[in-house]
Chain A
């Protein structure tokens, strides 16, 4: 299974000289989740790790890279709608800040839909 995003995060984390725990603190996500992202597998379930839009944004912020770039590294099966959406926003020339606002809207709209489906 390819895990381009995980490999990229691990490489950058090593370059920053940070442990899983320290990097997790900076991103405000647990070190076990960072580990799962780097390996591409959720160890509790044994399935492919689920990475949310919010997590991508936090990772991008700490790594100092464009979140759309991180989306482009994701396996499309993770959250394809976010990937396509961010890519389109980038293509029309939207700024990183505006893309984040658009992604926030999408997260909100999807949560609203999921709550109504429950």
Chain B
């Protein structure tokens, strides 16, 4: 674990281990055969102190969700303009802030603004779509779709995979697509025969691809 200023930072691998532990701690399995999609709203209701979820009809989707974490109450604001599955991701994002970050207030936007936002996004992604389940499912779905129609072009294939996985994990297609990009290094290893448990987990920053906060 590194320290930037006052913030202790984690690598992507450390963050994933933490998320997997949290899933197990609250009785969720990382085994794909007994996997069921997470309903983060039910989860938040169970684990946040005195929670109230408020839906606001924001004009745009730039503000995804907001968390106010008081000593006695918790309030989460979700954007009713976003889809139900999109809100499932947004609420999970706020739940990651609630569990792991100390600030009183968080606003989640459609772009990552700092390290905590990276951690909440990547943490929510691993919590809702563990890579141990995502990667084999992604590979199987791609093979299945190509067997059905071998003339699918890259975009059509990608869109079809996103739709199928979106239903499976109960998140928006955008979250699936972002996850697909975020796990491309791991997917490449998996496709080359490395077993799920032996994958080298690295963020885009660690790989020197682009700037993120990990």
Chain A residues proximal to chain B, CB less than 8 Å: 81, 84-85, 88-89, 91-95, 97-98, 101-102, 104-106, 108-110, 112-113, 116-117
| Cβ contact within 8 Å between B113 and A91 | yes
Which of chain B's residues have a CB closer than 8 A to the CB of A95? Answer: 59-60, 62
| B147-161 CB contacts (< 8 Å) to partner A | none
| Cβ contact within 8 Å between A113 and B73 | yes
- A57 shortest CB reach to chain B, Å: 15
| Cβ contact within 8 Å between A109 and B70 | yes
With A94-B62, A98-B60 as contacts: A113 and B68 at CB distance below 8 Å: yes
Most buried by B among A84, A105, A106: A105
Give the docked Cα–Cα distance between A40 and B71 (Å): 31
| Cβ contact within 8 Å between A116 and B107 | no
Candidates B52, B54, B63, B68; contact of A94 at CB < 8 Å: B63
Which of chain A's residues have a CB closer than 8 A to the CB of B77? Answer: 102, 105, 109
Candidates A93, A101, A106, A116; contact of B72 at CB < 8 Å: A116
Which of chain B's residues have a CB closer than 8 A to the CB of A93? Answer: 62
Given A95-B60, A102-B56, A105-B77, 17 more A-B residue pairs with CB atoms under 8 Å apart are A89-B63, A89-B107, A92-B63, A92-B111, A93-B62, A94-B60, A98-B58, A98-B60, A98-B62, A98-B63, A101-B58, A102-B58, A109-B73, A113-B71, A113-B73, A116-B72, A116-B73
Q: Does B109 contact A (CB under 8 A)?
A: yes
Which of chain A's residues have a CB closer than 8 A to the CB of B111? Answer: 92
- Give per-residue flags for B50-84: 1 if the beta carbon is below 8 A from chain A beta carbons, else 0: 10101011111011001010111101010000000
Selected A-B contacts with CB under 8 Å, 14 pairs: A85-B105, A94-B62, A95-B62, A98-B59, A98-B60, A102-B63, A105-B66, A105-B75, A108-B54, A109-B68, A110-B70, A112-B75, A113-B71, A117-B71
Query: Size class of B's contact patch?
Result: 20 to 34
With A81-B104, A93-B62, A113-B68 as contacts: A105 and B113 at CB distance below 8 Å: no
**Which chain A residue shows the least CB distance to B64?**
A92
| Cβ contact within 8 Å between B105 and A106 | yes
- A67 shortest CB reach to chain B, Å: 15
Which of chain A's residues have a CB closer than 8 A to the CB of B58? Answer: 94, 98, 101-102
Which of chain A's residues have a CB closer than 8 A to the CB of B62? Answer: 92-95, 98
Can you list the 8 inter-chain pairs with the closest CB atoms, starting with the nearest? A113-B70, A109-B75, A109-B68, A92-B109, A116-B72, A105-B77, A98-B58, A113-B73
- B49 shortest CB reach to chain A, Å: 10
| Cβ contact within 8 Å between B72 and A113 | yes
Give the docked Cα–Cα distance between A84 and B135 (Å): 39
